[in-house]
Structure 1
Amino acid sequence: MPNSRPVPTVRRRRLGEALRRYRHAAGLTLDTAAEKLDWIGPKLSRIETANAHVRPVEVAKLLKVYGIDDPVVVAALEGLARDSRKQGWWQTYSGIVAPAYADYISLESDADSVREFAPLLIPGLLQTAAYARETIAANATTRSPEEVAALAEVRQARQSVLTRPEGALKIWAVIHEAVLHQRFAVRPNTMRDQLQRLVDISEMPNITLQILPLDATPHPGGAGAFSLVGFPGPMPDVVLLENLIGATYVEGVGEVRTYAEAFERIVATALPTDDSLALIARMEERSRK
Structure 2
Amino acid sequence: MAGTNLTLRRRQLASRLRELRHATGMTVDQVAQELLCSPAKISRMETGQRGVSQRDVRDLCRIYGVSDDKLVTQLMTLARESRQPGLKQEWGDLGNDAIYVYMDLEAAAVSITELQTAYIPGLFQTEEYARALIRGLLPRIDQELLERRVEARMKRQLLLTQKEPPRYWTFIDEAALLRQVGDASIMTDQLEQVLRLAQAPHVTVQVIPFEVGAYMSADGPFVMFRMKDPAVSEVVYVEMLNRVEYLEKPAELEIYREAVEIIRAAALSPNESIRRIAKAKSDFSAALPRSDHLSPGEQ
TM-score by length of 2: 0.77
- Structure number with bigger Rg: 2
Query: Is the contact between residue 114 and residue 223 of structure 2 (CA under 8 Å) also seen in structure 1?
Result: yes
Alignment of structure 1 residues 196-235 onto 2, 5 Å: 196-234=192-230, 235=232
* Equivalent residue number for residue 151 of structure 1: 149
Pair 52,146 (structure 1): closer, same or farther in 2 beyond 3 Å = closer
Query: Is the contact between residue 191 and residue 281 of structure 2 (CA under 8 Å) also seen in structure 1?
Result: yes
1:82 Cα deviation (Å)? 5.2
1:86 Cα deviation (Å)? 3.8
CA deviation profile, 1:144-178 (whole Å, cap 9, x unmatched): 2222122111111111222233x212211000011
Percent identity, please: 31
Match of 1:256 among 243, 253, 257: 253
Match of 1:239 among 233, 236, 239: 236
Provide structure 1 residue ranges, at least 5 long, that are not aligned to the other structure: 1-7
Alignment of structure 1 residues 67-82 onto 2, 5 Å: 80-81=78-79
Alignment of structure 1 residues 5-24 onto 2, 5 Å: 11-13=9-11, 15-24=13-22
Amino acid aligned to 1:117:
L
Pair 115,180 (structure 1): closer, same or farther in 2 beyond 3 Å = same
Once residues 90 and 126 of structure 2 are traced to their aligned partners in structure 1, the CA distance between those partners, rounded to angstroms, is 22
* Equivalent residue number for residue 4 of structure 1: none
1:192 Cα deviation (Å)? 0.7
* Equivalent residue number for residue 138 of structure 1: 136
Give the number of equivalent residue pairs.
Answer: 273
Pair 51,283 (structure 1): closer, same or farther in 2 beyond 3 Å = closer
Once residues 251 and 267 of structure 1 are traced to their aligned partners in structure 2, the CA distance between those partners, rounded to angstroms, is 22
1:77 Cα deviation (Å)? 7.1
* Equivalent residue number for residue 27 of structure 1: 25
Once residues 66 and 253 of structure 1 are traced to their aligned partners in structure 2, the CA distance between those partners, rounded to angstroms, is 28
1:34 Cα deviation (Å)? 9.3
Provide structure 2 residue ranges, at least 5 long, that are not aligned to the other structure: 1-5, 287-299
Query: Is the contact between residue 114 and residue 227 of structure 1 (CA under 8 Å) also seen in structure 2?
Result: yes
CA RMSD of aligned residues (A): 3.5
Query: Is the contact between residue 128 and residue 194 of structure 1 (CA under 8 Å) also seen in structure 2?
Result: yes
1:203 Cα deviation (Å)? 1.4
Match of 1:190 among 186, 190, 214: 186
* Equivalent residue number for residue 98 of structure 1: 96
* Equivalent residue number for residue 281 of structure 2: 284
Once residues 138 and 73 of structure 2 are traced to their aligned partners in structure 1, the CA distance between those partners, rounded to angstroms, is 40
Q: Secondary structure at the match of 2:238?
A: strand
Once residues 139 and 115 of structure 2 are traced to their aligned partners in structure 1, the CA distance between those partners, rounded to angstroms, is 24
Once residues 149 and 268 of structure 2 are traced to their aligned partners in structure 1, the CA distance between those partners, rounded to angstroms, is 32
Query: Is the contact between residue 23 and residue 66 of structure 1 (CA under 8 Å) also seen in structure 2?
Result: no
1:200 Cα deviation (Å)? 0.5
Once residues 54 and 16 of structure 1 are traced to their aligned partners in structure 2, the CA distance between those partners, rounded to angstroms, is 12
Query: Is the contact between residue 95 and residue 145 of structure 2 (CA under 8 Å) also seen in structure 1?
Result: no
Alignment of structure 1 residues 37-52 onto 2, 5 Å: 40=35, 42=37, 45=42, 47-48=45-46, 50-52=49-51
**In terms of mean alpha carbon deviation, does 251-260 or 172-181 score higher?**
251-260
1:80 Cα deviation (Å)? 4.9
The list of structure 1 runs, each at least 4 consecutive aligned residues, that deviate by more than 6 angstroms after superposition, is 31-35, 73-79
Amino acid aligned to 1:205:
P
CA deviation profile, 1:200-257 (whole Å, cap 9, x unmatched): 0011122111000100153212231111111113023111111333422222222122
Query: Is the contact between residue 116 and residue 172 of structure 1 (CA under 8 Å) also seen in structure 2?
Result: yes
* Equivalent residue number for residue 52 of structure 2: 53
**In terms of mean alpha carbon deviation, does 233-242 or 170-179 score higher?**
233-242
Once residues 211 and 80 of structure 2 are traced to their aligned partners in structure 1, the CA distance between those partners, rounded to angstroms, is 48
Query: Is the contact between residue 208 and residue 273 of structure 1 (CA under 8 Å) also seen in structure 2?
Result: yes
Amino acid aligned to 1:211:
V
Query: Is the contact between residue 111 and residue 168 of structure 2 (CA under 8 Å) also seen in structure 1?
Result: yes
Query: Is the contact between residue 31 and residue 40 of structure 1 (CA under 8 Å) also seen in structure 2?
Result: no
Once residues 229 and 11 of structure 2 are traced to their aligned partners in structure 1, the CA distance between those partners, rounded to angstroms, is 17
Pair 54,162 (structure 1): closer, same or farther in 2 beyond 3 Å = farther
Once residues 82 and 226 of structure 2 are traced to their aligned partners in structure 1, the CA distance between those partners, rounded to angstroms, is 18
* Equivalent residue number for residue 120 of structure 1: 118
Query: Is the contact between residue 111 and residue 167 of structure 2 (CA under 8 Å) also seen in structure 1?
Result: yes
* Equivalent residue number for residue 3 of structure 1: none
